[in-house]
Copies of this chain bind each other. A is one copy, B any other.
Amino acid sequence: MDIDTNLLATAERLFDQDGFHATGMGRLVEESGLSSRTVYKHVGSKNALMARVLAARGDRFFAHADFTSTRALFDSVALWARREGARGCLFFRLRAETGGAVPEIEAAVAAYHAQLHARLAALVRQETGAADPTLTDQLLALFEGATTAATYRGPAVIEAAGACAVHLIERGRSS
């Protein structure tokens, strides 16, 4: 595996499991099997690394998530949570850890939020035939809430939220 890919994957795993502050660069050096010099030559800084981790995470998530229908979306999210564990949205968590003070991370989070909202808006348009900002916000809330609540109630919450979302969409279609 490529060094950069290896570093990105290791960092994502550590940040996701233990958090940004709890994961020191020394830990990344150990687990990657590289020297600290090489690590820094590749990632630049911890902040830059985290921004790249978030970008990669977003790409991976949007590649996995199935936005062809509301049901497919929540099913794919439930599958993701079961495979990767439900520890809450990594974007939100890492943002909380840095208190909004790191511009690179704010940018990565904003990009993710923009894409998430746009995809949900498109899903609403596709399923109901018209744009509906309120319905989009409701799907967004269900999505975010399912992700968050699943951290302490388990992945079943995602299915419950999905059923709610499907019902909402069906209701929006007939209007």
* Contact surface of A with B, Cβ cutoff 8 Å: 18-19, 21-22, 88-89, 92-93, 96-99, 101, 110, 113, 117, 134, 137-138, 140-149, 151-153, 156-157, 160-161, 163-164, 167-168, 171
B residues near A148, Cβ cutoff 8 Å: 89, 92, 141, 144-145, 148
B residues near A145, Cβ cutoff 8 Å: 140-148, 161
B residues near A18, Cβ cutoff 8 Å: 99
Cα–Cα distance between A93 and B100 once the two chains are bound (Å): 12
Q: Provided the pairs A141-B157, A145-B145, A163-B134 are in contact, do residues A152 and B22 lie with their beta carbons within 8 angstroms?
A: no
B residues near A153, Cβ cutoff 8 Å: 117, 137, 140
Partner of A137, one of B88, B144, B147, B157: B157
**Interface pairs (30), CB distance under 8 Å:** A18-B99, A19-B97, A19-B99, A22-B101, A88-B92, A89-B148, A92-B148, A92-B151, A96-B97, A137-B153, A137-B156, A137-B161, A138-B160, A140-B145, A140-B149, A141-B141, A141-B142, A141-B160, A141-B161, A141-B164, A142-B145, A142-B164, A143-B145, A144-B144, A144-B145, A144-B148, A144-B149, A145-B146, A145-B147, A145-B161
Cα–Cα distance between A84 and B95 once the two chains are bound (Å): 19
Partner of A138, one of B92, B98, B161: B161
Cα–Cα distance between A18 and B152 once the two chains are bound (Å): 25
